[in-house]
Structure 1
Amino acid sequence: MKQGKYEIDDAPLPTFDSVSALLNSINSAVIIDDMENVEQYFASLRKAGVNSFLTAWKDDSSVLDKVLDRIETLWLNPLSVEIFEVDSEQALRDILPHAYVTTPSPFVDFLEALFLGETYFQAEFEQPLPSGKSVDLCVTSHMTTLQDRLVSICTFTDIKWYRDQRTLADLLNLRGNALMGTKLAAWELDIRCDEYVVDREYGTLVGVDPLCKKLSTSEVLQFVHADDRRLLSTLAIDGHIDREFRVCRSDGRSILVHEVGSATRYDSEGKPVVFAGTIRDVTQASQQQRLHEVEKSILEASMEGAEENQVLHSLARGVDHAVLNHGCIAVLFDQQHRIIASAAGNEKLADCAAAAREKSATDFPHLFVDCIGKKMFTFVPNVLGEHDNTDATRAFSNCGVKSVGAMPIMTRDNQVIGAICLVSEWPNDRVSHGLDDLKRLSRLVALVIQERRQENTQRLLDLQSQNRLRFASLGRLAGGIAHDFNNLLTAIISNAQLCEIQRTDPAKVSGATSRILQASEVAASLCRQMLTYAGQVEAIQRPINLVELAERMVSLIHPSISPRILLDVSSDRDVPSVLGDDGAVSQVVLNLLTNASEAIDDVGQISVAIGKKTLDRESAAQYMFGKALGEGQYVCLSVTDNGCGLSEDAKKHLFDPFFSTKQSGRGLGLATVIGIIENLGAAISAESKPKQGTRFEVVFPLASRTSSGTEKDTPCSIGRVGRPVLIVDDRDDIRTSVQLLLESQGIRTIGVESGEEALVSVKSQRFGLVFLDQQMPGLSGLETYRRMRASGDDTPVCFMTGFAATSELEAVNRLDATTTLVRKPLGLDELKTVFQRHASRLASKA
């Protein structure tokens, strides 16, 4: 069929196939008119100085006839015949130019809109029909291009019918979705001939001439970002299309589009061959969504304790991904607005971000200076502008940056601590939308970084406070040691001088030396307590009846406390044995009883209770000091008094060495308890309130049935030793003293001051026993022992140590049966014990 110069198929035009099907389903007529000649006539009127078609028509009514003569009807659908009550399409074409010219005329209003350049028109009017009746119609016209001609797509809808079926709002919504949309571009793909038909809006979208045209698939793919072309390589088998991809516009910039469509025709096998749909720009919506995702990721990172540098990198990468056509560099300032940290959103900007570090805001005059001063988004259209040509901006330019914008990272008190920089490789490339989202993101980042800095500052203050407490505790420790040792040294020195003065009086010399020994033993005991506090005393583990031990300690302390203090012991039946060192556990119980008795002024009560206790995970975590306890069975010892109790401040220092609430106390009792229970694998807790007393509770691990221990060695005579004994110690006074003690017992000795000399000595002659100091300059005792054994020497070795780290003690304990360990200070009794342990080997070497 021909109408004017266009070939018209009986079927709807391909470009509007899906639109026509929709409009037919909602009882609307569709008429497509060629308006190209009308537009040319209007152009001549405008050239003649006419500003309004209505004015021209009122001045000259023939103007309307001239317009009607220039309208050519290209296509109409069958429903048009029914609505206008004609018997054929040809009859409608004959009357169509005059069909809706009424008074007041919506057609004249339509021409006025077209004259003024509007592309959309809508009106309602009453249309007389040939039968004498009339119909209320809603006419909608949309101007578009078809085959390089300007056409009008008009729909006529029976309003009364729609009012019976649905609301007018539904009608307008359907029509709007079908024809207009919002920035929707229409397309149709015929895979049989590999051809796209796209409309005017499609060209506008991709940045080419906005003309309706046919394109091949390869031509369409040229607009698609290279990384996204695979998305368009396949079509959905079910005939539905819903996808997002990037489009590269002709100006070099990219946009994100959302494409939807469906199959409109199928071949004889039921496979889709023609698809139609729409495509729209979703760059802004996607940017908003992605920036929200960046906010979420930064919040999650903050909750996981991420440091500010990690937050900065997460920010840069997230914004770089969210904002198309722009890269991101995030920076942080110090209080002098020097850049102290920077992060690049992608590898291409890494050098640019590095160039920004350790620069000042003043190195970027119109960027950061204005951003900080104005506290708002600042845009620099040319980074090498007249006032911006600095080393820093040249570094940006060398990285390909032509323009840049900066959003301040601003705290709640409006202090700028950084900036989010959006950089572009095009000059004057301002971000046109999404600044509110970017501003909200910058505020969130500022909040996270500010909180992290406050946490770090508080952590530093806490550390400083802890260090002050440690130094105070160390001061008390040093002062207490100095006090006690000065007293002991006074007794030792004065009695030693008496021995010198009264050397002719054996009785007085004997008394003085006895007092020297007593003071020395007290000093040794004090040293042992300090090592116990440090957890460096090796305990001999054996099963202990805790009930019997507690009763012994109560009997021991009872005479020394006030008779008006009631002291009682209670226990469960069949309390299991605990694993521990008898002396160490005795010291724990004795110290707790002493502490309780000194907390009571004169009258009061001390209760000792022993029983089985089952701990779960929660109750095990309540013990303040000692080993971390697991779930299971333990034996519990509690000591409770109704004395003065402790203040909150005193409880904080309860187990500190040399801290005491008693004027005469040394303060090592409870501190020693901590070291002991660490070694025993036990744990302790304390509860106390002022004027309500104190309760200590210690839990001990159970002794297994296979647990066993060796009895303590009882010193006896040294006995016969055939070979000499080698004494190795770098301290001349200690080496000489040990030699003299042994020689007083008839034993030959040789003394050397280093491990190196000891190796020479054992190589030149055989020894019955080697006393080897553990800590010496050069070769340590342990290394000397290993070299002796490596050379084939099997002489028994006794290690001497005043202090050794736990790892060193464990290493010694793992050696063979020919080795023993003795702690300094050592006297004749300790030496006798060593010889007793090696008696059988010494006899064989006699």
Structure 2
Amino acid sequence: MEGYSVADSLSCEELSLRVQKLEKERRELETFRESHQKLATILQNAPFLVIAVDRQWRVQEANRAAFSLMGYLEPGEILGSRCGKAIGCIHHVDDPRGCGYGPACGTCVFRLAILETFESGKSAERIESRHRIIGDTVPERTFLVTTARPEGNNHVIVFIEDVTEQRKAEEEKKRLQAQLGEAKKMEAVGRLAGGVAHDFNNMLGVIIGNAEMAMLQINPGEPLNRYLQAILKAGNRSAETVRQLLAFAGEQRINPEVLDLNDMVAGMLNTLRSLTGPDVDLSILQCRDLWKVKMDPSQVNQIVAALVLNARDAIAGKGKVTIETANVSFDERTCQENPDSLPGEFVLLSISDTGSGMGQEVLEHLFEPFFTTKEFGGGPGLGLSTVYGIVKQNNGFIGVDSEPGKGTTFRVYIKRSEENANKDEFYTSQLETRRGTETILLVDDEQEILRTLKPMLVSLGYRVFAAESASAAMKIAEEHTDTIHLLISDVEMPDVSGKMLAKNLKLLYPGLKCLFMSGYTSSGVAFFGMLEDGEEFIHKPFSMSDLAGKVRKVLM
């Protein structure tokens, strides 16, 4: 071609390469811009805070989450400010020089993580830091702080995750798990206590019954009578200990009445003052128009006496005990904030003292049977466990506030009763012995029980057949030609339950009446499905007069 040279050709090729290179660089720049825009969009819309901090602790960049934490509307409100102010740290106002000069800055995990990254270049990975934020509805926030320093950059990038709610949920879960474990432990201990009480009641029934029978055979003035009195007294004291165990297990026999706790406490005042002694100032603060409760009066006496005695023992020298009553209500929201509470309307009985107080290690075991901080001989450690069982039996709950050296307050909450008068009538065993001539079939798998009860019933004029098992009882019933008027049977036996035995015997004697007995209480046997409401029951151990009165009541 005319006018065309090799040099011109080389220039065109070089130009083409340069154009291609420029086009490649343009595409790479465009890709970088798109990637940068995506990253910027991600960071701006991330649910966690992202800020860039320089060596003067000033915020150079921040995403939207950082703006919203303090309610900023424009970037200019946060950019250029010190990072303490940017995240609303309550300590940044402690010194006009700002972040790093406040009294808490020397131990601030957030600040130390940034400082370490500036000095060493090492990144911090999700370090936990706690902060109080100005004007925040949350008392304290928990942040996870991650830091990074881009190479060749004089800034530290800080990523801040607000895990306050997550930590709160984790702590709540741990607390609920601990509470559930404690409830299961107390339930298991209660079951164990009830079982132990059942076995002891059988043995005490034999001891008390035989002592009473022996006393009937001798003159009151004989020397032997003194020893029998001692046996009977020890047996009754042991029975009282068993009753305390049953109270903890929630199986105490009760005769509930509609009561005014103000009247009950006022009626005990003189007794309580004699318990506390002259060095303790006992005062009562009564709520006007106090709601009524429905529970056994003896249980109220037990609760008040046990807690006042506990308060007295906690006071060394002079001190003060205050008994207070109040009406309180708990809704579902309040119960969520105070998980030991129950929803509804309650009457509060509060007993406070100025004594030595208790630490957490004592509070964790406070209501367990036989747990005590007293020296040997100071008591069996059943007072507070009895209170716990009574409160639970009456659908209430109990709380304790105590610190070493700051005294203790017990708060007992009993369900409010809407009844105005007590309409329930309960059978009371006759004090005098009642006699009869009917035929009784006595059944118990414990031979000692049979040997004790049969002479009692015979001495009362009854004709008695005794059997050690349900099968032996059925054999006696089938061979007996006359009427059997009453079955007295243990509720729980190895072969057949007392309830099933009664059902089979009624096929032979349709008019047969039944009286069941057990070392468990009536509520206990009902809980285990051994008896139904309305079936006659007597709780071991019982006296001869108790048995005589109950038998006559059933046969009438």
TM-score (norm 2): 0.60
State how far apart, in whole Å, the 2-side matches of 1:99 and 1:829 are. Answer: 143
State how far apart, in whole Å, the 2-side matches of 1:558 and 1:528 are. Answer: 26
Give the conservation status (yes or no) of the 8 Å contact 2:253–2:521: no
Q: Which moved more, 1:728-737 or 1:593-602?
A: 593-602
After TM superposition, list the pairs within 5 Å mapping 1:382-781 onto structure 2: 506-617=221-332, 619-620=334-335, 629-630=342-343, 632-663=344-375, 664-705=378-419, 708-717=423-432, 719=434, 721-763=436-478, 764=480, 765-781=482-498
State how far apart, in whole Å, the 1-side matches of 2:26 and 2:389 are. Answer: 86
The match for 1:35 is none
Which one-letter code corresponds to 2:367 in the other structure?
F
Which one-letter code corresponds to 2:399 in the other structure?
S
Query: In the alignment, is residue 123 of structure 1 matched against residue 17 of structure 2?
Result: yes
Alpha-carbon offset, residue 622 of structure 1? 7.2
Query: In the alignment, is residue 826 of structure 1 matched against residue 542 of structure 2?
Result: yes
State how far apart, in whole Å, the 2-side matches of 1:558 and 1:695 are. Answer: 19
The match for 1:785 is 502
State how far apart, in whole Å, the 2-side matches of 1:711 and 1:792 are. Answer: 29
Describe the superposition over 1:769-826 as per-residue Cα deviations: whole angstroms up to 9, x where unpaired: 21110121111213223434566734221111113796732435535x4x21111111
After TM superposition, list the pairs within 5 Å mapping 1:55-454 onto structure 2: 103-106=7-10, 109=13, 122-123=16-17, 173=27
State how far apart, in whole Å, the 2-side matches of 1:557 and 1:671 are. Answer: 20
State how far apart, in whole Å, the 2-side matches of 1:789 and 1:517 are. Answer: 37
Query: In the alignment, is residue 835 of structure 1 matched against residue 551 of structure 2?
Result: yes
Alpha-carbon offset, residue 741 of structure 1? 1.2
Structure 1 residues 688 and 618, CA gap change in structure 2 (3 angstroms):
farther
Q: Which moved more, 1:504-513 or 1:699-708?
A: 504-513
Structure 1 residues 644 and 173, CA gap change in structure 2 (3 angstroms):
closer
Alpha-carbon offset, residue 530 of structure 1? 1.0
Aligned with 2:515 (options 786, 798, 809): 798
* Greater strand content: 1
Describe the superposition over 1:353-387 as per-residue Cα deviations: whole angstroms up to 9, x where unpaired: xxxxxxxxxxxxxxxxxxxxxxxxxxxxxxxxxxx
SS at match of 1:612: strand
SS at match of 1:568: strand
Which one-letter code corresponds to 1:779 in the other structure?
V
SS at match of 1:677: helix
State how far apart, in whole Å, the 1-side matches of 2:512 and 2:326 are. Answer: 49
Structure 1 residues 622 and 105, CA gap change in structure 2 (3 angstroms):
closer
State how far apart, in whole Å, the 1-side matches of 2:521 and 2:16 are. Answer: 98
TM-score (norm 1): 0.41
Alpha-carbon offset, residue 509 of structure 1? 2.2
Give the conservation status (yes or no) of the 8 Å contact 2:429–2:550: no
Which one-letter code corresponds to 1:827 in the other structure?
S
Give the conservation status (yes or no) of the 8 Å contact 1:571–1:609: yes
State how far apart, in whole Å, the 1-side matches of 2:230 and 2:272 are. Answer: 25
Structure 1 residues 524 and 726, CA gap change in structure 2 (3 angstroms):
same
Structure 1 residues 105 and 766, CA gap change in structure 2 (3 angstroms):
farther
Give the conservation status (yes or no) of the 8 Å contact 1:599–1:645: yes
Give the conservation status (yes or no) of the 8 Å contact 2:492–2:530: no
Alpha-carbon offset, residue 739 of structure 1? 1.4
Structure 1 residues 623 and 697, CA gap change in structure 2 (3 angstroms):
farther
SS at match of 1:104: helix
Structure 1 residues 783 and 700, CA gap change in structure 2 (3 angstroms):
same
SS at match of 1:594: helix
Structure 1 residues 551 and 733, CA gap change in structure 2 (3 angstroms):
same
- Give the fraction of aligned pairs with identical amino acids, expressed as a percent: 26
Give the conservation status (yes or no) of the 8 Å contact 1:725–1:771: yes
SS at match of 2:379: coil
State how far apart, in whole Å, the 1-side matches of 2:265 and 2:435 are. Answer: 42
Give the conservation status (yes or no) of the 8 Å contact 2:316–2:355: yes
Which one-letter code corresponds to 1:657 in the other structure?
P
State how far apart, in whole Å, the 1-side matches of 2:218 and 2:547 are. Answer: 28
Describe the superposition over 1:98-156 as per-residue Cα deviations: whole angstroms up to 9, x where unpaired: 9987633159859xxxxxxxxxx9436xxxxxxxxxxxxx689xxxxxxxxxxxxxxxx
Give the conservation status (yes or no) of the 8 Å contact 1:716–1:836: no
Which one-letter code corresponds to 1:104 in the other structure?
D
Which one-letter code corresponds to 1:831 in the other structure?
L
Give the conservation status (yes or no) of the 8 Å contact 2:399–2:411: yes
Which one-letter code corresponds to 1:629 in the other structure?
L
State how far apart, in whole Å, the 2-side matches of 1:100 and 1:641 are. Answer: 114
SS at match of 1:613: strand
Give the conservation status (yes or no) of the 8 Å contact 1:544–1:578: yes
Give the conservation status (yes or no) of the 8 Å contact 2:485–2:511: no
How many residue pairs end up in the alignment?
388
- Structure having greater relative contact order (Cα 8 Å, sep ≥ 6): 2
Alpha-carbon offset, residue 836 of structure 1? 4.5
SS at match of 1:123: helix
Give the conservation status (yes or no) of the 8 Å contact 1:635–1:701: yes
Two-structure CA RMSD over aligned residues (Å): 4.3
State how far apart, in whole Å, the 1-side matches of 2:470 and 2:4 are. Answer: 121
Alpha-carbon offset, residue 705 of structure 1? 2.6
Give the conservation status (yes or no) of the 8 Å contact 1:624–1:685: no
Give the conservation status (yes or no) of the 8 Å contact 1:584–1:676: yes
Structure 1 residues 100 and 837, CA gap change in structure 2 (3 angstroms):
farther
State how far apart, in whole Å, the 2-side matches of 1:139 and 1:659 are. Answer: 89
Which one-letter code corresponds to 1:645 in the other structure?
G
Alpha-carbon offset, residue 642 of structure 1? 0.9
State how far apart, in whole Å, the 2-side matches of 1:718 and 1:533 are. Answer: 32
State how far apart, in whole Å, the 2-side matches of 1:679 and 1:656 are. Answer: 16
Which one-letter code corresponds to 2:7 in the other structure?
T
Aligned with 1:808 (options 512, 515, 525): 525
Alpha-carbon offset, residue 616 of structure 1? 3.1
Structure 1 residues 624 and 665, CA gap change in structure 2 (3 angstroms):
farther
State how far apart, in whole Å, the 1-side matches of 2:320 and 2:351 are. Answer: 10
SS at match of 1:809: helix
Which 5+ residue runs of structure 1 have no aligned equivalent?
Answer: 1-94, 111-120, 125-137, 141-167, 178-411, 413-454
State how far apart, in whole Å, the 2-side matches of 1:623 and 1:786 are. Answer: 49
SS at match of 1:697: strand
